[in-house]
A = this chain, B = another copy of it.
């Protein structure tokens, strides 16, 4: 018995919330639900409730809370994924998968070999698109937390800014000779994982990551596709640190 899940911007003290925009459209026009329908609502910050529709308008649906629901648990590590912006749909895949794996923050970055420029990404509608992808993934995986998606940044600017948690940088096999495995890093309750673009990190970028205190690690000897590396790195981290 799967109850449809909806994102709401907030739930007020009296237990009322409003589905807006796409969410309202999904309720009424896609699922053809009406007053009295029971749904699950989550606020994107960790709260989830069974709720009942009380008003159904064209652009908003009012609901009242019935009872709290336990969402899928968050991992016991707060991960920021600093992801080099990939071409087209590949970045959508990364946002979807990282959300499913429970990351707290997604920081899109532009690196030397990125096949796009900071200004191009910044003036596109990709941030809004990634947020929609993340919300859809939250519904599918059962979380009640929508990861924060930060504005795109240059790698070096991001490395220079304050960060909480150990920075972990997976490195492609050709550059990873002699690197320690990820499991050798001291576990912590916070981590940043930075993943390079399709063409990999430049030697200068790897040096800058080292200078910024990063632990450079190998994820096996096979060359991973850039869009698969986040899933592999997150699974390895959770297993190594026992923080699933």
Known: A142-B173, A224-B100. A235 touches B244 (CB 8 A): no
Query: Closest CB of chain B to A178's CB: distance in Å?
Result: 14
**Cα separation A73 to B220 with both chains bound (whole Å):** 8
- Report chain B residues within 8 Å CB of A244: 181, 218-221
Residue from B140, B173, B182, B183 within 8 A of A223 (CB atoms): B140
Q: How far is the CB of A170 from chain B (nearest CB, A)?
A: 11
A130 within 8 A of B: no
- Report the minimal beta-carbon distance from A218 to chain B, rounded to whole angstroms: 7
Residues of B within 8 A of A158 (CB): none
Which one of A100, A102, A218 has the highest number of Cβ atoms from chain B below 10 Å of its Cβ?
Answer: A100
Q: Does A149 contact B (CB under 8 A)?
A: no
Known: A72-B223, A100-B224, A222-B100. A239 touches B236 (CB 8 A): yes
Contact A142 B231 (CB under 8 A): no
CA distance in complex: A157, B73 (Å)? 36
Q: How many copies, total?
A: 2
Chain B contacts of A142 at CB under 8 A? 173, 221-223
A193 to chain B, nearest CB (A): 13
The residue that A72 contacts in the complex, of B72, B141, B173, B239, with Cβ under 8 A, is B173
| CB contact list, A189-244 vs B, under 8 A | 218-225, 228, 231-233, 235-236, 238-240, 242, 244
Q: How far is the CA of A224 from the CA of B96 in the complex (A)?
A: 11
A64 at the interface (CB under 8 A from B): no
The answer, among B75, B97, B183, B223, for a CB contact under 8 Å with A239, is B183
Contact of A101 among B97, B222, B239, B240 (CB under 8 A): B222
CB closest chain-B residue, reference A174 = B142
How many Å from the CB of A182 to the closest CB on chain B? 7
Q: A181-B242, A219-B235 are in contact. List 10 more A-B contacts (CB 8 A).
A: A72-B221, A142-B173, A142-B222, A182-B239, A220-B244, A221-B244, A228-B231, A232-B235, A235-B239, A239-B240
